[in-house]
Structure 1
Amino acid sequence: MSEAAMFALSNAFWVFVGIVAGAFIQFLLSKIQARSQFSAILDVMKTELALNIDEYENLKLRLAGLKTRIGAGQVTDSALYIPMEGFDYSATLAQIRFGNFHYILGKDYSQRSLEFMRYFSTGNGHIKSHILKDQHAKDRSLDFIDHFLREADDIVDNLRPLLNARRQFWKSGLVMQEKDI
C-alpha cells in the first residue's frame, strides 16, 4: 500500500475515533444534565411532601382540639369538619403530567405518594367529614377521629423515608438512607 493510501486510511480512522469520542462525551453530558434535572425535581417534590406533612401535623392539632370539644359536649355540627384544603400537590401533579413522577419515585414510592394524595384530598375530607357527623349522631365520633388518625399516621409514616431519598446516578430509582428502610 502506498504512503498516500496509508495516510488517507489513518485519517479516516482518526476521524471515526473522533466521532465516536464526541458521541460518547455527548451521551455522558446528557446523562449528567438529566440527573441534575431529576435531582432538582425530586428536591421540589420532597419540599412539597415536607410541607404536606407539616399540614398533617396541623390537622392533628385541630382534631385534638375537636376531640376535646366533643368530649366536653361543646361542639356544633358545623364544627364537625375535617379540613384538607391546605394540602398542596401542585409540584407533584406537574410531574405526573410531564411523566416524570413514576420514573423518579419508582413503583413503591409512587404508590405511597398517590395513596397520600388520595387520602389527604379535599374530596376525601368531605367524605370523612360526612362520616364524622354521622358517627357523632351515634356518639362514636371520638372513635372515628382516632381511627382516622391511625390510618393517616400509617400513610404518612410510609412516606416519610422519601424525605431522605436521593437519586441513583446511572439507574432509575431512589436510594434510601439505611435508617429509613
Structure 2
Amino acid sequence: MVNFFSSNPFWLFLGVVAGALIQAILHWFERHRQANAALKVLQIEIKYNLEQASSYIDEINRQRELLYSGEISPEKAFFPMVGFDYSALGPINNSGYLHTLLGPESLGSVLRFSGHFNNRTGELLYSALQQEASAGRAVSFLLEEKVRAEKLRSRLVPIAKAKKKWFRLSIEMPKQA
C-alpha cells in the first residue's frame, strides 16, 4: 500500500482531479462575476430608461392639458421616444444572462417596456391619436397612454433595485414596503 501512494500514477490521477476541481470552481466564480456585471449594466440602462419614461409621462400629460385647453391641435402632439436606449439588452441577451437572471416575469416586464417605448410605437401612437382625434377622443387617448406608460414604468422599478442571489444566477426583488 505504501508503494501505491508513492507511485507516479496515483499523483498524476490526484493532480488531474485537483486541476479539474479548480477549473470548475474558477468557472463558477467567473460566471457569477459576469452575471453581476451584466446585472449592473442592465440596471444602469433600466434606471436611465425609467428617467426617460418619467419625462415621457410628463410630456404626454403636458400635451393632454394643452389639447384639452385648445392651445394645440392633435396634429401638433407627439410621442417623445427618441431618448430611450436599449443598447445593452442585445449583448446581455446574447450572453444568456438576460433570461437567466430575470426569469419569466421580470423578463416580460423588460420586453413589454422596450416594446412600447420605441420609435415605431411612437409612430403608431401618433396615427392612433389622429384617428381618436377625428372621433373627438384625443384627450382621453392621451390619458390612457399616460396610464399605460405609468404601469409599464412601475413594473420596471423593482428590477432596477434587485440584487443578484449569492449562489444562484437569478435576482431577488426588494421587499415591498
C-alpha displacement at 1:136, in angstroms? 1.9
Unaligned runs of 5+ in 1: none
Secondary structure at 1:177 match in 2: coil
Q: Which stretch shows the higher mean deviation, 171-180 or 155-164?
A: 171-180
Does 2:78 correspond to 1:59? no
% same residue = 25
| Corresponding residue of 2:12 | 15
Matched positions, count = 177
Q: Is the 8 A contact 2:81 2:119 kept in 1?
A: yes
TM-score scaled by structure 2?
0.89
Does 2:169 correspond to 1:169? no
Does 2:36 correspond to 1:39? yes
Q: Is the 8 A contact 2:61 2:143 kept in 1?
A: no
TM-score scaled by structure 1?
0.87
Q: Which amino acid aligns with 1:88?
A: D
Does 2:85 correspond to 1:49? no
RMSD: 2.0
Secondary structure at 2:71 match in 1: coil
Of 106, 110, 113, the residue aligned with 2:110 is 113
Does 2:78 correspond to 1:81? yes
| Corresponding residue of 2:125 | 128
Secondary structure at 2:40 match in 1: helix
Q: Which amino acid aligns with 2:59?
A: R
Secondary structure at 2:88 match in 1: helix
| Structure-2 separation of matches of 1:104 and 1:118 | 20
C-alpha displacement at 1:123, in angstroms? 0.9
C-alpha displacement at 1:72, in angstroms? 1.6
| Structure-2 separation of matches of 1:7 and 1:145 | 80
| Structure-1 separation of matches of 2:51 and 2:120 | 20
| Structure-2 separation of matches of 1:157 and 1:112 | 10
Q: Which amino acid aligns with 1:74?
A: E
Q: Is the 8 A contact 1:81 1:132 kept in 2?
A: no
Greater Rg, structure 1 or structure 2?
1
Secondary structure at 1:54 match in 2: helix
Deviations 1:124-151 (CA, angstroms, capped at 9, x unpaired): 1111111112222222111111111111
| Structure-2 separation of matches of 1:37 and 1:165 | 16
Residue 6 and residue 64 in structure 1: after superposition, are their counterparts in 2 closer, same or farther (change >3 A)?
A: closer
C-alpha displacement at 1:76, in angstroms? 2.9
Unaligned runs of 5+ in 2: none
| Structure-2 separation of matches of 1:16 and 1:115 | 53
Q: Which amino acid aligns with 2:154?
A: D
Q: Is the 8 A contact 2:49 2:84 kept in 1?
A: yes
Deviations 1:8-51 (CA, angstroms, capped at 9, x unpaired): 44x53343233222221221111111111111111111110111
